[in-house]
Structure 1
């Protein structure tokens, strides 16, 4: 179940609780206060067609698409691109995120692009995979001109990608095991018998 699939209604507390549970189920590296802010920031979109409002330019959206593919690539299951994570993040930040969260995402994308041009004199999308990973690893470690603020921004971006992916249909039903109505309770399993982790049904 993706974020956009959650019902719009007057029960804001129930909705925020569901959002926090979804984020926690994904194992996001966010503090309790960050999760509360993420959940509390959601409100019904002003444009119910969900097509007109956008935060990112086409170039920024392409950059985000590439970053999503690096974070969750296609393997034997669909990756972030197939799940439309870049579109989800664009929609979420345009309609639901606070102004500060929007600016942080834009700043993070800007720092990645600026870093690519500074280090390799090329746009990030034209770098080789090895160069892209080198740049992102430096940002992850706050090295080579990247600050702790840049590191935090990348961490938040990764959390959004993971959140968008594991609450999408491909992420919840193909990457995770899923049962709409789980069977009876069994409290003792050998780890090798469990297989993939289960998507939670809220």
Structure 2
């Protein structure tokens, strides 16, 4: 005797497809929301963005290739500040920026700005603004060299490639980057 029912049967493939779609959406949607992270400035940094821009521009200025401003490093720093700094780190970073601003950085000439930054780099660890300058320098360098603008500055040669043991830098023209860095 064969019993038949009119209830639809569940197909394992459609069940797997549906569950993967739901799981994928749960993972992807929050990531997509964070893609706009570099487009807005946190309210606590809005008045300090000019200072951050000036400092990052002095760290990596524009030359025959784009500098930190062309690579949108200040926006990158603002996104890191907003999304990855704890409240304590945010307040310490803001106080350090205030200390750099109080040193007259914004009103100084480029040469004086370089002197202020050199003084911060060689200052004692207890000096106000040193830790913030070190963070800014590290974030500027990382943000620049992981940007598309840095590809204009660095040459790239797939390894293994040609090996020249002793080539004068004047022949190379720029620093070389390989995967091992």
Quickly name the TM-score band, shorter chain normalised: 0.5 to 0.7
Aligned residues: CA RMSD: 3.3
Query: After TM superposition, where is structure 1 displaced by more than 4 Å over at least 4 residues in a row?
Result: 43-48, 185-188
For structure 2, the residue ranges without an aligned partner over 5 or more in a row are: 1-25
Provide the residue aligned with 1:77 in structure 2: 65
Distance 1:52 1:155 in 2: 24
Distance 1:46 1:101 in 2: 23
- Offset of residue 130 of structure 1: 2.6
Contact 1:55 1:94 in 2 (8 A): no
> Residue 87 in 1 paired to residue 72 in 2?
no
Distance 1:135 1:187 in 2: 42
Please give the TM-score of this superposition, normalised by the length of structure 1. Answer: 0.60
For structure 1, the residue ranges without an aligned partner over 5 or more in a row are: 1-8, 11-42, 117-123
Provide the residue aligned with 1:153 in structure 2: 132
Query: What is the SS of the residue equivalent to 1:132?
Result: helix
Instruction: Note closer, same or farther for the CA distance 1:73–1:137 as it changes in structure 2 (3 Å cut).
Output: same
> Residue 174 in 1 paired to residue 152 in 2?
yes
- Offset of residue 45 of structure 1: 8.2
Equivalent residues in 2 for 1:1-150, closer than 5 Å: 47-50=34-37, 51=39, 54=42, 56-116=44-104, 124-142=105-123, 147-148=126-127, 150=129
- Offset of residue 76 of structure 1: 1.4
Provide the residue aligned with 2:11 in structure 1: none
Query: What is the SS of the residue equivalent to 1:169?
Result: coil
Provide the residue aligned with 1:189 in structure 2: 165
Instruction: Note closer, same or farther for the CA distance 1:54–1:45 as it changes in structure 2 (3 Å cut).
Output: farther
Contact 1:85 1:165 in 2 (8 A): yes
Considering Cα pairs closer than 8 Å and 6+ residues apart, tell me whether 1 or 2 has the greater RCO.
Answer: 1
Larger radius of gyration: 2
